[in-house]
Amino acid sequence: MELWNEIQTTAFWIGLWQIILVNIVLSGDNAVVIALAARSLPPRQQTQAVLWGAGAAVVMRIILTIVAVELLKWPWLKMIGAVLLLWIAVKLLLPEDGGDDGIESSENLWAAIKTILIADLVMSLDNVIAVAAAAKGSLTLLILGLAISIPLVIFGATMLMKIMDRYPVIITIGAALLGWVAGDMAATDPVVKGWVDANAAWLHWAAPSAGAVLVVVLGKWLAARAEAGHKEIVDLGEGSETRAPR
Single-letter code of the amino acid located at 138:
S
Residue 204, SS3? Answer: helix
DSSP 60: H
Decide if 203 contacts 40 (C-beta within 8 A).
no
Question: Exposure of 91 by Cβ count < 10 A (0-12 exposed, 13-18 middle, 19+ buried)?
Answer: middle
Mean pLDDT of 121-136: 72
Confidence check: pLDDT of 79 > 80? yes
The alpha carbon torsion through 86, 92, 94, 98 (nearest 10 deg) reads 140
Q: What is the pLDDT of residue 49?
A: 77
Decide if 27 contacts 150 (C-beta within 8 A).
yes
Q: What is the pLDDT of residue 93?
A: 86
* pLDDT tens per residue, range 212-246: 999 999 999 998 988 877 666 655 666 555 555 55
* pLDDT tens per residue, range 80-111: 888 888 887 888 788 765 544 444 555 677 87
DSSP 1: -
User: What residues have CB less than 8 Å from 92, skipping those under 6 apart?
Assistant: 25, 26, 171, 174, 175, 178, 219
Decide if 90 contacts 219 (C-beta within 8 A).
yes
What is the SS3 string spanning 14-59?
HHHHHHHHHHHHHCHHHHHHHHHHHCCCCHHHHHHHHHHHHHHHHH
Domain boundaries, the chain: 2-243
Mean pLDDT taken over the chain: 76
Percent with pLDDT over 90 in the chain: 14
Q: What is the pLDDT of residue 100?
A: 47
User: What residues have CB less than 8 Å from 177, skipping those under 6 apart?
Assistant: 18, 21, 22, 25, 212
Mean pLDDT of 61-76: 81
* pLDDT tens per residue, range 177-192: 888 988 988 998 889 9
Cα–Cα distance measured from residue 166 to residue 168, given in angstroms and rounded to the nearest whole number: 6
pTM, two decimal places = 0.66
| Closest alpha carbon to 24 in 137, 218, 140, 178 | 178
User: What residues have CB less than 8 Å from 89, skipping those under 6 apart?
Assistant: 175, 176, 178, 179, 182, 215, 219
